[in-house]
Amino acid sequence: MQINHLNTIHLNYLNPLLKWRVMNLESLRQECTSVPNYFNFCKIIRSLEKAKILEGYRHPFNRKKYVYLSPFGEGQLSLTENPSSVSKETLIHDIKVSEIGKSFVDQGWMNNVQLEHELHNKRNFRVTYKIIPDALLEGAKNGVSYKVALEVELSRKSNQRIVEKARQYVASTFYNYVLYIFSKRNYMEKYIEIIRSSVSSEEFNRFLFFIDETMSANPTDLIEMEGFFKGKTVKLSEVFEPVK
């Protein structure tokens, strides 16, 4: 199937990627305005790959197929100023950020999630708020709205970079909390140690540290995820589950 121009069916399939950047095929299919037949859906996805609108990636561990807009595809959708900027070097990281952000919405824990590329698209966001997280989570609990900066750490930053970023968050009144999610326990323990010694105890209580050691291979289970917040070990669900 040759694609000479993008029609409404193509746009229905591509629009969720403007929000979530990179998605596995079933997640993308479910996000379409009207959920298409799986066989027809895959057929059109293959045609969009062949036309270089989309690029595909087969995850080495879970074997799922993921797709994202190519630079050419972004140009076709007029995303020339601030594209979603998926790169092969950060693909695994981008998959996890998108998946975790979407899970927060699907769980009903957050009203809105904006990924990094969406924040870059906002005029003067970096100038105003100094720091752009992997995602901005916006929710409400007990009638109080709050904002959480999400940082997904698949590798360990330098001590200096960890301190610099923590202090930037502390200096910002825009973010109420900073949520770190790690792929390795020793990363989490090191970040806790470094950040605790770099900020006041009151400021440290704005940071949440959580661990998903199967992150690279499996979908992240937010409900069962455990971590550290305000001096104690807690489940993520205890922190973000809305009060019934």
Q: Give the pLDDT confidence of 42-97 residue by residue, as tens digits.
A: 999 999 999 999 999 998 878 889 999 988 888 887 655 555 667 777 888 999 99
Edge-to-edge strands, sheet with 207-211: 112-115, 135-141, 144-153, 177-182, 207-211, 226-229, 232-235
Enclosing H/E stretch for 114:
strand 112-115
pLDDT at 81: 56
pLDDT at 10: 87
pLDDT at 173: 86
Rounded to whole angstroms, how far apart are CA atoms 110 and 241? 9
Instruction: List all residues 6 or more positions away from 190 whose beta carbon is below 8 Å from its beta carbon.
Output: 156, 162
Report yes or no on whether pTM surpasses 0.95. Answer: no
pLDDT at 124: 63
Strand partners, 235: 226
All residue ranges of the chain with pLDDT < 70 are 1-4, 78-85, 121-130, 243-244
Judge contact between 239 and 229, C-beta under 8 A.
yes
pLDDT at 27: 93
Enclosing H/E stretch for 95:
helix 91-106
Which residue, 74, 168, 52, is CA-closest to 121? 74
* CB-CB neighbours of 104 under 10 Å: 23
pLDDT at 89: 77
Using DSSP's 3-state secondary structure scheme, residue 59 falls into coil
Using DSSP's 3-state secondary structure scheme, residue 227 falls into strand
Which residue, 168, 115, 177, 122, is CA-closest to 145? 177
